[in-house]
A = this chain, B = another copy of it.
Amino acid sequence: MEYSFADSVKSLNPSAIREILKYAADPEVVSLSAGNPSPEAFPTEKIAKISAGILAERPIEVLQYSTTEGYQPLRDRLTAYLKEKHSIGREFDNILITSGAQQVMELAAKVLCNPGDAAVCEAPSFIGSLNSFRSLGVELVGVPIEDDGMNMEALEQALKANNRVKFIYTIPNFQNPSGITMSMEKRRRMYELAKSFGVIIVEDNPYGDLRFEGEDVPSIKSLDEDGLVVYSGSFSKVLAPGIRVGYAVAPKPLLQKMVVCKQGEDVHTAMWPQIICERFMADAGFEAHLESLRSLYRKKARLMLSLIEEHLVPAGITYAPTQGGLFVWCRLPDGVDMPSFCKRAVIDYKVAIVPGNAFLVDENEPCQNFRLNYSTPTDEAMRKGVQRLGALAREVIKV
């Protein structure tokens, strides 16, 4: 049987990262290619205790159908928390609980775009979101990223040149894969541009709470007086990704359409995860937990950066500045073939890293970058992995 697929789905393939992960399954391979939170970060005992409590006291709430908008106590708690802590959410906004933050991107694109419409994204950007947009037939326009975020002149040009752009997709804090944070000045400029071109901003902020250095920069959503921003948050990096809970704060007319589309996707997000999140925020020491995560990742990030300084920088590799999140974005000197560097790393040196072109709108564009992760590996694995990369770099790069 020959199957005929939707145009937007025909060319869609499993992400290149999955190919890398296949090699990473070899027990001899040290993986610096993942994007998982550290298992040390999971408050397993507290979650087990909360779970026992809710299953004893209100099992029907955990097991019965619920509303698409989400578990009301979680919606209320998040609304108050986001308002108080991050100045997010105005009268015209509402909140939707989603099955992980990925669903926010998918729903926003589904609601805003006809196939053939376009979205501007950072180049590089998170491949999961890019594939989500692609699966809906949304065309991607990549705008280069600098050390303080998207190039604003290039963004303006892109908006001028393409009147089918419906939204700008941005990860403003510790962006995946680059680790870069957008400056306040650029956030304001992006907001102004969105307003003047009449496009929406989809602000994806899974890593915002994982700053290990420097001062928080206010979200773009906190500037949103005109109802232009869909803000996406997640419990994946601050509690656990396997529970799949995220949320969107967006202007009501937009959010209401997202609710109708979510109803057609999964009716509502599973209840156990939602109630766990609500109870965890309510009385399991959420702020102290965030602080302990920051301290865990600070330690890991500093180790990674010192290893890079020791083993990779002398060989001519540079990296983008970062103050949080899970990743470091490294760059090979011009003239070194990046894809074959990554391939040799995993095959000959048994260390898995992600080739940077996987995060581009067009994977075939030239790219000198690769992504390193420091949240998943143990300290020992990180040491071993970066040492191996250093050996490969010394072999390959003629300084």
Contact check, A266 vs B13: say whether CB atoms are below 8 A apart. Answer: no
Q: Which residues of chain A from 1 to 53 have a CB within 8 Å of any chain B CB?
A: 1, 3-9, 12-15, 35-37, 39, 42, 44, 47-48, 51-52
Nearest residue, chain B, Cβ from A34:
B65
Contact check, B264 vs A132: say whether CB atoms are below 8 A apart. Answer: yes
Contacts of A166 in B (CB 8 A): 4
- Is A111 an interface position by the 8 A CB rule? yes
Per-position binary interface string of chain A over residues 251-276, scored 1 when its CB falls under 8 Å from any chain B CB and 0 otherwise:
10110110111011111111111000
Residue count of chain A within 8 Å CB distance of chain B: 83
CA distance A390 to B37 in the complex (A): 59
Contacts of A39 in B (CB 8 A): 60, 63-64
Partner of A6, one of B48, B112, B265: B112
Contacts of A263 in B (CB 8 A): 14-15, 128, 131-132
Contact check, B100 vs A266: say whether CB atoms are below 8 A apart. Answer: yes
Contact check, A6 vs B65: say whether CB atoms are below 8 A apart. Answer: no
Partner of A243, one of B36, B51, B111, B271: B271
CA distance A236 to B15 in the complex (A): 31
Contact check, B132 vs A265: say whether CB atoms are below 8 A apart. Answer: yes
Partner of A242, one of B111, B260, B264, B270: B270
Partner of A47, one of B63, B66, B200, B236: B63
Distance between A239 CB and nearest chain B CB, rounded to angstroms? 8
Residue of A131, A236, A263 ringed by the most chain B CB atoms within 10 A: A263
Give me the interface of A with B, judged by CB distance under 8 Å: 1, 3-9, 12-15, 35-37, 39, 42, 44, 47-48, 51-52, 55-56, 59-66, 98-100, 102-103, 105-106, 110-115, 117, 128-129, 131-135, 166, 200, 226-228, 236, 240-244, 251, 253-254, 256-257, 259-261, 263-273
